[in-house]
Chains A and B, each alone.
Chain A
């Protein structure tokens, strides 16, 4: 099947994120988000009123209340009224919605943001509420236990072993030493077992954070950014929910999304993967055909900072920022949702030839 080609060139032209922290008790979600919105707008010189479409991603379950995103909108400054929407998903999917809006030609610029505060509750318990509400959720299997199931399946299949997983974690956190926004930086010990075979070092930190991106179409993108990160393709796919009907050692939805996004047409030099557990990087490297020539998670990835609902958008933002800086010419960004990589999004970003 040929990869879908967008009818209009659309690029990420700016990216901003918070410093990701274990707790932000002193900040409301709006207060956490505001500086990021200001930074991303400042980077382009745009004002809220210049933006053609706004879209956000967040979760009521993290916030602990219904309609939690309505207050975040106050931080955007939606007056006069704006064209705006929200997905109850990671911000990467908000970016996808904004991308489709720009494709229709109804807007030339879009502001995308996402945020999540995991600190007020027990994120392991909260995420169990994503599961089949009748048969699975009542058993409260938590996110680390489910990831451990996947990790064990990989080890049993001979795809990895515990030292290899530790190497993934170490490499990520060493890379994060250069990322001032990361929550965990520099070397971190492997730690004790969280749930066998995963040690604490294989698991992401729990933390709070926000991110924002600005998209622009065509010449508008060149006006706003010296080296725009053009979205050459973007696609996302979902798999069955039940873990029993999936091969946990593979990610067919990632592969299909990558194919549709054109990721396999030419090699990428960078990949930002939303692999929250070291074992998930093993699955994704295989599905996305990433060999050792690719710089995987130079930001440190989710093992260094994993603000739920924003972590996927941050992957796109980090990949785009590398293109903006000239550190990458063609990058793959990946986001995921659901237990054990159920739903996956892949974007391919490119800078203009040099």
Chain B
């Protein structure tokens, strides 16, 4: 039994900003979906099903918002699924939509992820206390900082690597019209001089809180043949999860991340990711996660990830560009951030990434993670259809 090949034929994003006071949640998601339809030159009537994702409902204060959003997303009379896998949700949502096509349940599916963080306060949405359980230590930074410290100790990475990542991503964001942070006067010195929040993570090495949505139109082989613009083809996709806390957990390089990447590479026939993958959009909410994930995803040997970053390999004009869009460090509507990674990977192989396009990008990895580094979702997209 062979799966139906899946293609991305439409991509739409909102301009991500700190607060979209001009639109409701419905208005926000509608904007991204409409742009994806325009990109695919399709109408609402062409959509068979809608798969929507976002991070916790507490971020907007709406329980199961897909119910209220059914009208805005043209879902009335159609199937609508709501995915929630913490920070990896944007990626997982796209993969659930992918399965509807790969399993030949539907021909064309709209998938969308969003977060309108200005409706609430994400820091405190993540900090509701539960008796006898590990709290998230006042937001995500408090949880992740010790793991960054562990990475530095383990690898001997010099202190400045994190600042290099932030400086790179914020400069890349200047080339992406949809990115939230456009810091035209950014310098490495400014990043290094920014206040220390959760040692060793500085203010400028953290992600912003954004309002934003990202949508994609996924379709089957017949749909791709009608696409007015080059499709991006999915060559592999996977999700992996492991428990939050247990004695054997490696928070620096979780096994679930390694297994997820290995599954994607197996599906895509990738033996050497460093040579065979042209660029990566990875989920880097705190700058040090770039070198950490480079190792976890198999682009560098253990302990060597920071050397790739330090030597400029991950720059936009480097040998393995990472986060060409500016990444999560420049734009973070949490529930949408994973899907933005997936969508940016697709934009690259379609040759439609504009000023942040990587020349000759043929195979690009999109990556997302969530929870306490326990949920992973990834896909690898290519400019040509999969052969197997």
Q: Which residues of A contact B (CB under 8 A)?
A: 4, 7-8, 54, 59-61, 64-67, 69-71, 73-74, 77-89, 93, 96-97, 100-106, 126-127, 129-134, 137, 235-242, 252-253, 256, 337-339, 342-343
Contact = CB atoms under 8 A, between A and B. Distances in A.
Given A126-B63, A131-B68, A240 B76 contact: yes
Contacts of A67: 56, 86, 126, 371
A252 B255 CA distance: 46
Nearest to A102: B103
A241 B80 CA distance: 13
- Give the one of A87, A339, A343 with max B CB within 10 A: A87
Contact of A88 (B57, B105, B374): B57
Given A7-B104, A241-B67, A134 B24 contact: yes
A96 B69 CA distance: 20
Interface in B22-63: 24-25, 55-63
B58 A66 contact: yes
Q: Which of B1, B55, B68, B260 is most buried by chain A, counting CB atoms within 10 A of its CB?
A: B68
B347 interface: no
B92 A85 contact: yes
Interface in B227-252: 238-246, 248
A81 B71 contact: no
Contacts of B158: none
B160 interface: no
Contact of B64 (A71, A97, A256, A337): A337
Contacts of B103: 7, 100-104
B48 to A, nearest CB: 10
Interface stretch (B94-102, B274-282, B316-324, B353-361): B94-102
A349 B315 CA distance: 54
Nearest to B89: A86
B248 A79 contact: yes
A239 B57 contact: no
B63 A86 contact: no
Nearest to B6: A104
Contacts of B254: 81
B153 interface: no
- Looking at A65, A127, A342, which has the most chain B CB atoms within 10 Å of its CB? A65
Nearest to B237: A106
Contacts of A74: 243-246
A59 B255 contact: no
21 contacts: A65-B130, A66-B56, A66-B58, A66-B126, A67-B56, A70-B372, A79-B242, A80-B242, A85-B239, A89-B66, A93-B81, A104-B102, A127-B63, A129-B62, A130-B64, A130-B68, A132-B68, A133-B68, A137-B62, A240-B70, A242-B71
A7 B103 CA distance: 8
Contact of B78 (A61, A238, A338): A238
Nearest to A235: B79
A89 B71 contact: no
| A-B pairs, 5 with minimum CB distance | A103-B103, A66-B56, A81-B256, A84-B241, A88-B84
Given A71-B244, A238-B78, A338 B104 contact: no
Contacts of A80: 242, 255, 259
A341 to B, nearest CB: 11
B114 to A, nearest CB: 13
A67 B310 CA distance: 35
Contacts of A339: 67
B82 interface: yes
A241 B374 contact: no
A226 to B, nearest CB: 25
A89 B64 contact: yes
Given A103-B102, A133-B119, A240-B71, 11 more contacts: A8-B1, A59-B57, A65-B130, A86-B84, A89-B81, A97-B81, A104-B3, A134-B24, A236-B79, A240-B70, A337-B64
B99 A79 contact: no
Nearest to B245: A74
B128 interface: yes
B80 to A, nearest CB: 4
A81 B241 contact: yes
Contacts of A4: 105
A101 B68 CA distance: 27
B80 A343 contact: yes
A218 B289 CA distance: 42
In this complex, which of B62, B263, B371 has the most chain A Cβ atoms within 10 angstroms of its Cβ? B62
B75 interface: yes
A328 B256 CA distance: 41
Contacts of B69: 241
Interface in B93-141: 95-96, 99-100, 102-105, 119, 125-126, 128, 130, 133
Contact of B61 (A54, A82, A133, A236): A133
B86 A337 contact: no
Contact of A96 (B24, B62, B81): B81
Given A66-B128, A256-B77, A343-B67, A84 B82 contact: no
B381 interface: no
A238 B76 contact: yes
A60 B56 contact: yes
B99 A100 contact: yes
A134 B62 CA distance: 10
B365 interface: no
Nearest to A239: B76
A71 B239 contact: no
B85 interface: yes
B246 A79 contact: yes
B134 to A, nearest CB: 10
A134 to B, nearest CB: 6
B81 A87 contact: yes
A143 to B, nearest CB: 11
A70 B375 CA distance: 9
B37 to A, nearest CB: 19
A70 B133 CA distance: 12
Contact of A86 (B2, B3, B85, B100): B85
Contacts of B92: 85
Given A74-B243, A79-B246, A337-B64, A241 B256 contact: no
